[in-house]
Amino acid sequence: MSKQTVEFCTARDLPELFSRFADWYRFNPRMRERDYFDWQFKSAPKRLADAEYDFLILRESGEIRGCLGFTGFEFELGDRLATGGWTHNWYAHDQRDGGLALLLRFMELVDNRFSIRFNENTARVFSLLKVPMVPALPRWWAAIDADACTTLFQFDQRDTAEVRRSSGMLHKLVSEPCEAIVRFDPASDFSLAHYGSRIGYAKRTGHYLNWRYFDIPRHNYRGIKIADQFAVFRVEPVMDSDFSVIRILEWTFDVTRAPSAVASIVGMTEKQRPILLDFHCSCELIGQAIEAFGFVRQTTTTKPMPDLFRPTNNSGGIAIAIDLPPHRTARHINFSNWYITAGDSDVDRIKL
């Protein structure tokens, strides 16, 4: 019987690991770039393991057959401050027991576990462990160019009316001066208290935000700030077209500053011909606030607005799971009281 081991990844494992990634993650060549791998699993502000990388590998008969990466972070929940961990790149090639061994080793490192964008096999494991989860992170979008959206994404007459309503509301907004963010002050600590004291969220310190958005290799995120509130976004070209989509990753503006911030972002990116604003966020209060000036829930139209643009497609949503103590018991989590976006974990990255 072949022997399985779960080990922490070291630099000497990377050539073999990257050769496996060429097959396992062939549509994500970033994973095979040393500086990108180091950024995510070695340079994160909050490390979970006393090892060279926060990354586990599964070996069988000496060969790498699976892996699981993770990123630590601090989160606030009410008056509680705790450490959590996002899982990344959980894969076990034809090794169901090995996949579970990887997960159990990760669970030994942190009590508060978070997962985002996982498949049906992972969902079945989480169900057995009684981990609370939702199949899709709520999404809001706003049409900047209604004609381009309806033509490119082929909406029918009923949905076209919703797209035009969104665009009409958006174009009534007026921008006011805002500060472009080159880098955050590392000592800054942004709060979501203006959305209520019950909101749970990964702490958005300047140190964390710089690492996540401005230190990541070969990505081009932009940020704006008004007083002590901010947004982070990037512009993604729509494949086989001259248009683009604005992906919002962070949004902490209150209802008074939000309309001006949206108008500023649209104005700043005008030369890149954006036709749509896109924002995935679990927090219901933030979603309700941005609906007031043109944002639409993903479920509003009969045909879903695409959420992938390289190529254009509808993914069906980004699943989320939160596993807080007491583990392996039936628990309820109100996901709408959490601020989780596509900027958390490694969900948002440039699609080549």
In the chain, what are the helix, strand and coil shares in percent, each to the nearest 5? 30, 30, 40
Is the Cβ–Cβ distance between 206 and 189 less than 8 Å? yes
List pLDDT tens digits, range 266-288.
999 999 999 999 999 999 999 99
DSSP H or E stretch at residue 56: strand 55-60
pLDDT at residue number 351: 66
As a whole number of angstroms, the distance between CA 306 and CA 288 comes to 21
DSSP 8-state secondary structure symbol assigned to residue 92: E
Closest CA to 82 of 212, 213, 201: 201
Strand 274-280 versus strand 244-251 pairing type = parallel
DSSP string of 325-337, one letter each residue = SSTTS-----GGG
Tokens of 204: 């958005």
Q: What is the pLDDT along the chain (352 residues), one digit of tens a residue?
A: 568 999 999 999 999 999 999 999 998 899 999 999 999 999 999 999 999 999 999 999 999 999 999 999 999 998 889 999 999 999 998 767 899 999 999 999 999 999 999 989 899 999 999 999 999 999 999 999 999 999 999 999 999 999 999 999 999 999 888 999 999 999 999 988 888 878 999 999 999 999 999 999 999 999 999 999 999 999 999 999 999 999 999 999 999 999 999 999 999 999 999 999 999 999 999 999 999 999 999 999 999 999 999 999 999 999 999 999 999 999 999 999 999 999 998 778 776 6
pLDDT at residue number 348: 85
CATH class of 139-318: alpha beta
Instruction: Fill in the amino acid letter for 197.
Output: S
As a whole number of angstroms, the distance between CA 204 and CA 184 comes to 10
> In the chain, what are the domain boundaries?
4-137+321-339, 139-318
List pLDDT tens digits, range 135-146.
999 999 999 999
Which CATH architecture does the domain made up of 4-137+321-339 adopt? 3-Layer(aba) Sandwich (3.40)
Q: Are 4-137+321-339 and 139-318 equal in CATH topology?
A: yes
pLDDT at residue number 216: 95
pLDDT at residue number 352: 63
As a whole number of angstroms, the distance between CA 343 and CA 209 comes to 10
pLDDT at residue number 310: 92
List pLDDT tens digits, range 93-149.
876 789 999 999 999 999 999 999 998 989 999 999 999 999 999 999 999 999 999
Would you call 55 helix, strand, or coil by DSSP?
Answer: strand
